[in-house]
């Protein structure tokens, strides 16, 4: 684990496809104003240069609001912009290597869809777990499904924060929160909405 | 510039598509036995984990033969395996940021297709330039064309090593060498050949 504490309660993961013509920076700013506590920048189909330039721009916004910015998968981008941390999936950087290269002052989150993956990630020093997909999702089609019961078992088996991910929205959020997890990760429930500020506020209100 | 000296004379850039069913590690080993002096691992469509695992395996081979291994684009992979260096294109990491993160003991090469790009890369501390494409190529379809005359002008305008790239093979190699450049970068002229060892030896012989 790192030395960094963070509020994982309303964790936004970006997906520019959801935004149609809207600007990512402006959308993130509205989401933060609505109550998002942490932002993960996720880009899968851009050049390194484009990812870097986008990350620099987004970090100016998250820094302004004192919100941690986590980079998905790309440790080089996280290092280059001095991001708050890195999120790694099971096909990304191995946790131990990521910690070795990032040091103890960066947050490292790991995706887990089984109890075994969750326990291993915790043992290797992950700061938090992204567990899902708890509901089916159009964003990450490769994510295995995790039932709310399994989510609860994982939460009770680890000591690090657990963030639920996958298809979470204003309608099913209470069910997810009932498992006792530390936060929810959302994409479309904020970024696909016409009123991003209001969508984030509504989720924030349910979490309170 | 870094503190590292390297022999750029016969510089192999990998492309697994060229190999059909053959193993990349074995193919690189044959190419080195045939006279390749430097290897760049270039992977554009794999997960981070897959790239990392491949890079670890290839580095065992290049280390065994004391051949520098350069990673294309992915600074995180270069750091993770302690590669000899990184090659960046104009859409990849900016040179200055790459040097800041890699330090003075790593080779950094930059792709350049104009004199302006070449001079800027040298000024920013590049160790060598990859200049091309000097002939049309199926490997990098986005590369701008650089005439042999332009290649010669670039070579005469910089003090760092210039490696010519793009469609170079046993038939046109002498023309390219006549421009005075320090090395040639090849992909298909070695990896697409049935006898990789022999193909590398023939190129090596022409360079001698």
Partners of residue A79 in chain B, C-beta under 8 Å: 75-76, 79, 101
Instruction: Test B48 with A92 for CB contact under 8 angstroms.
Output: yes
| Distance to chain A for B139, nearest Cα, Å | 17
Identify the pLDDT of residue B114: 97
Chain A residues within 8 Å of chain B (Cβ atoms): 47-50, 52, 73-76, 79-80, 90-94, 97, 101
Determine which helix (DSSP H) or strand (DSSP E) holds B123, and give its type and residue range.
helix B115-123
- Sequential DSSP letters for B47-111: -HHHHHHHHHHHHHHHHHTT--EEEES-HHHHHHTT-SEEEE-TTSS-HHHHHHHH-TTSEEEEE
- Sequential DSSP letters for B177-200: HTTT-SEEEESHHHHTSS-HHHHH
Going by the DSSP 8-state scheme, the letter that residue A87 receives in this structure is: E
| Contact by Cβ (8 Å): A137, A32 | no
Residue of B nearest to A72 (CA): B48
Partners of residue A94 in chain B, C-beta under 8 Å: 49, 52
**Which residues sit opposite B109 in a β-bridge?**
B87, B128
Candidate list B140, B155, B185, B188, residue with the active-site label: B140
Identify the pLDDT of residue B139: 64
For residue A95, give every residue at least 6 positions away whose Cβ sits within 8 Å of its Cβ, in sequence order, or none: A88, A108, A110, A120, A121, A124, A125, A126
Q: Is the pLDDT of residue A141 over 70?
A: no
Inter-CA distances, B108 with A80, A135, A155, B51, B103, Å: 16, 45, 45, 19, 10
Identify the pLDDT of residue A1: 77
Identify the pLDDT of residue B140: 59
The chain-wide mean pLDDT, for chain A, equals: 95
CA distance A9 to A199: 15
Picking from A73, A80, A101, the nearest residue to B80 by CB comes out as A101
Residue of A nearest to B99 (CA): A80
Chain B residues within 8 Å of chain A (Cβ atoms): 47-50, 52, 73-76, 79-80, 90-94, 97, 101
CA distance A78 to A59: 10
Q: Give A63-110 pLDDT, tens digit per residue.
A: 999 999 999 999 999 999 999 999 999 999 999 999 999 999 999 999
Burial of A194 (0-12, 13-18, 19+ CB in 10 A): exposed
Q: Is the pLDDT of residue A142 over 80?
A: no
| Distance to chain A for B3, nearest Cα, Å | 22
Picking from B50, B52, B93, the nearest residue to A52 by CB comes out as B93
Identify the pLDDT of residue A143: 59
**Which residues sit opposite A38 in a β-bridge?**
A11
Picking from A49, A52, A92, the nearest residue to B49 by CB comes out as A92
CA distance B133 to B151: 10
CA distance A174 to B2: 56
For chain B, 208 residues long, give each residue's pLDDT as a single digit of tens.
Answer: 787 889 999 999 999 999 989 999 999 999 999 999 999 999 998 999 999 999 999 999 999 999 999 999 999 999 999 999 999 999 999 999 999 999 999 999 999 999 999 999 999 999 999 999 999 876 655 556 899 999 999 999 999 999 999 999 999 999 999 999 999 999 999 999 999 999 999 999 999 9
Q: Give B121-145 pLDDT, tens digit per residue.
A: 999 999 999 999 999 876 655 556 8
For chain B, the first-to-last Cα distance in angstroms comes to 27
CA distance B107 to B85: 4
Annotation marks residue B140 as catalytic: yes
Q: Tally C-beta pairs within 8 A across A and B.
A: 56
Picking from A80, A91, A92, the nearest residue to B101 by CB comes out as A80
Q: Give A182-199 pLDDT, tens digit per residue.
A: 999 999 999 999 999 999
Helices B148-157 and B115-123 cross at an angle (nearest 10°) of: 30
Instruction: Test A92 with B50 for CB contact under 8 angstroms.
Output: no
CATH code 3.40.50.10680 for B10-207: no
Identify the pLDDT of residue A136: 83
Tell me the catalytic residues of A: 42, 111, 140
Joined together, the tokens standing for residue A145 give: 């499904």
Picking from B48, B75, B97, the nearest residue to A93 by CB comes out as B48
The angle formed by the CA atoms of residues A49, A53 and A57, to the nearest 5 degrees, is: 170
Percent of chain A with pLDDT over 70: 97
Inter-CA distances, B135 with A4, B48, B147, B177, Å: 52, 31, 8, 14
**Which residues sit opposite B11 in a β-bridge?**
B38, B185
pLDDT band of residue A4 (cuts 50, 70, 90) is confident
Residue of A nearest to B101 (CA): A80
Determine which helix (DSSP H) or strand (DSSP E) holds B1, and give its type and residue range.
none
Domain borders along chain B are 10-207
Q: ipTM of this model? A: 0.92
């Amino acid at each position: 684990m790192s030395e960094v504490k963070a509020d994982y309660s309303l964790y936004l993961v970006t997906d520019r496809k959801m935004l149609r013509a809207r600007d990512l920076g402006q959308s993130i700013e509205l989401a933060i104003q609505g109550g998002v506590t942490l932002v993960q920048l996720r880009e899968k189909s851009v050049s390194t240069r484009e990812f870097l330039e986008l990350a620099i721009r987004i970090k100016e916004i998250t820094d302004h609001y004192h919100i941690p910015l986590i980079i998905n998968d790309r440790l080089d981008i996280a290092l280059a912009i001095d991001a708050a941390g890195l999120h790694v999936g099971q096909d990304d950087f191995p946790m131990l290597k990521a910690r070795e290269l990032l040091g103890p002052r960066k947050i490292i989150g790991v995706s887990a869809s089984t109890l075994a993956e969750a326990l291993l990630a915790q043992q290797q020093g992950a700061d938090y777990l992204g567990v899902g997909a708890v509901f089916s999702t159009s964003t990450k089609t490769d994510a295995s499904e995790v039932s709310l019961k399994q989510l609860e078992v994982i939460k009770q088996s680890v000591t690090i924060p657990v963030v639920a991910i996958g298809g979470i929205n204003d309608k099913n959020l209470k069910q997810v929160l009932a498992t006792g997890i530390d936060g929810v990760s959302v994409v479309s429930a904020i970024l696909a909405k016409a009123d991003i500020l209001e969508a984030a506020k509504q989720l924030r209100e349910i979490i309170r």
